[in-house]
Every structure is written in structure tokens, then in C-alpha cells.
């Protein structure tokens, strides 16, 4: 495995694999890797010949009162996990490599970036779309892998790839969960024992609604109410919405199209997001 910090070196390293038509898979991350990231790497191995993992904590997607300065970091551990997982290249650019002096060009996403997290984190998806487009240009992968937990991010990135004619397949990998069903996240490390126990209400609510959906419930308001009953132990429920899986607009009752039940909540000072996909059968 090679660890590379400069764009020029990265492109040179990928010249030979491309010359012999090897398929390049890309897993963009902000580091502090966990089994969810490893699932993305595994998916890349299954579909591609060469896997590149980027580790870059992107400053432009953090708001002024968010946790950029305290976001968890452990680069040596991340390198070892990537090496053990068979990653070919870890790309770990500096902030200046990604955002050179006098940088002023951003990618502005559209309607998909406005609901859910976009409504509460102004500028977040502008930062995401910009850094992902830049990383796509740097790596030039054939396939890029993202986790379903960041459902809105996946939608924004997929739309961007289509709109900008990027020759990249966007693959969404199902959310990986802890044994207690808490969605894996780098931010889980912020949770103390008591907070973690209360955080389980998030997945409990989502799965309760999914179970009722499986039993035939198709009313959006009722499904939201079922999930909400389980969320009383969180400190602040930021949103709980059932949206069309493609447009992210509020899902219509009775549900007849794939929908996503999405939640963002604070447990202590930690913001957690999660979702389940509800897929009506024909």
C-alpha cells in the first residue's frame, strides 16, 4: 500500500493500472475508520481491481459552530486498517492541496440539498459537493462508494455526477450497524455509556416503523408517529421525516414508491443521523 499526499503523485501512481484497463474504485472518507468504511472498501474490492481510499477532513462542510476542530483523528490507525483491508492507495492530501491559495470555485447543489440535513446545516452540501467533485477529478475513479447512513449525501453526489457528466458509477452500500443496531459513525466515540444507551432510541424508532411497514402500514403520518414514540430519550430531535427516496420530497400516502425514513437527533452534544429504506412491493 502507498500513502500519497500530492495530486500529481496520485495520478502518476494510477497511470499504469489505467493503461492495462484496471478498474479503479474510490472510497472517500474523513478518517477515523470503522467497519462501515471497511464495508465500502470490501464493496470496492468486489467490483474493482484497484481501491483508493481518501482521508481528508473537509473544512468547507463544517458550519461555524460544528465540530471541525474536535473531529476524531487517528491517521496511523487508519493507515493500518487500510493496509490490512488490501487498499492499494491511501490519498491523504493537505487542506492546501485541496484548496489552494485564493480558492473561490464551489459546486452548488440544487433541490436535493435543501431538506433534511440541508435545512439545518446551511452550506454543508455545498462543501460536500465541492470536495467530492475535486476528489473525483483527482482520483478519476470508475466507481465511487458511499454509505447509506448519509442518505442525503448519496443523493446529492449521485445527482452531481449525472448533472456534470462525470463518468463515475455511484454505489450506495447498506448501513453497517453495531451489535445493538446503532448505526456506525465516527462520532459514536463522543457518546458516553449513558448517552449511547439513549442513542439506541434512534434505530429502535426507525425499525419499529419499518416493522409496521412490513406488516402493511402505508400511511406516512402513522409511520412517522410510530418512530417518534421511541425517540423520547434523545435530547433534541432535529428532524424525523419520511421522504421519497429519489426526490427527497415528503412521501405521499399511501406509500407506493420507495421512501426513506430519516432522522437527525442530538444525544448530549452529539448529532447522529440514521435512516431506513421502505420499499413497497408491487
Residues labelled as active-site residues: 37
Q: Grid coordinates in use for 177?
A: 450497524
Contact 145, 26 (CB under 8 A): yes
The burial class, CB within 10 Å (0-12 / 13-18 / 19+), for 162 is exposed
CA–CA separation, 127 vs 1, rounded Å?
Answer: 29
Amino acid at each position: 500500500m502507498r500513502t500519497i499526499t500530492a495530486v500529481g503523485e496520485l495520478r502518476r501512481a494510477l497511470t499504469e493500472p489505467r493503461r492495462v484497463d484496471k478498474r479503479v474504485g474510490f472510497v472517500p472518507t474523513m478518517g477515523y475508520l470503522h467497519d462501515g468504511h471497511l464495508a465500502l472498501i470490501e464493496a470496492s474490492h468486489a467490483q474493482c481491481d484497484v481501491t483508493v481510499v481518501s482521508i481528508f477532513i473537509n473544512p468547507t462542510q463544517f458550519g461555524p459552530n460544528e465540530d471541525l476542530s474536535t473531529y476524531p483523528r487517528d491517521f496511523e490507525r487508519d493507515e493500518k486498517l487500510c493496509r490490512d483491508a488490501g487498499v492499494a492507495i491511501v490519498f491523504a492530501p493537505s487542506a492546501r492541496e485541496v484548496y489552494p491559495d485564493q480558492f473561490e470555485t464551489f459546486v452548488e447543489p440544487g433541490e436535493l440539498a435543501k431538506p433534511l440535513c440541508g435545512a439545518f446545516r446551511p452550506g454543508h452540501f455545498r462543501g460536500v459537493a465541492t470536495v467530492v467533485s475535486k476528489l473525483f477529478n483527482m482520483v478519476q475513479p470508475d466507481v465511487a462508494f458511499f454509505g447509506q447512513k448519509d442518505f442525503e449525501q448519496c443523493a446529492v453526489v449521485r445527482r452531481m455526477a449525472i448533472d456534470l457528466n462525470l463518468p463515475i458509477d455511484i454505489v450506495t452500500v447498506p448501513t453497517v450497524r453495531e451489535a445493538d443496531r446503532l448505526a456506525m459513525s465516527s462520532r459514536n466515540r463522543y457518546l458516553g455509556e449513558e448517552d449511547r444507551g439513549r442513542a439506541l432510541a434512534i434505530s429502535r424508532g426507525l425499525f419499529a416503523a419499518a416493522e409496521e411497514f412490513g406488516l402493511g402500514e402505508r400511511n406516512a403520518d402513522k409511520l412517522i408517529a410510530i418512530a417518534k414514540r421511541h425517540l423520547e430519550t434523545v435530547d433534541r430531535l432535529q428532524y424525523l421525516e419520511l421522504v421519497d427516496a429519489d426526490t427527497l420530497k415528503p412521501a405521499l400516502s399511501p406509500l407506493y414508491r420507495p421512501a426513506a425514513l430519516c432522522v437527525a437527533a442530538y444525544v448530549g452534544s452529539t448529532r447522529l443521523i440514521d435512516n431506513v429504506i421502505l420499499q413497497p412491493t408491487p
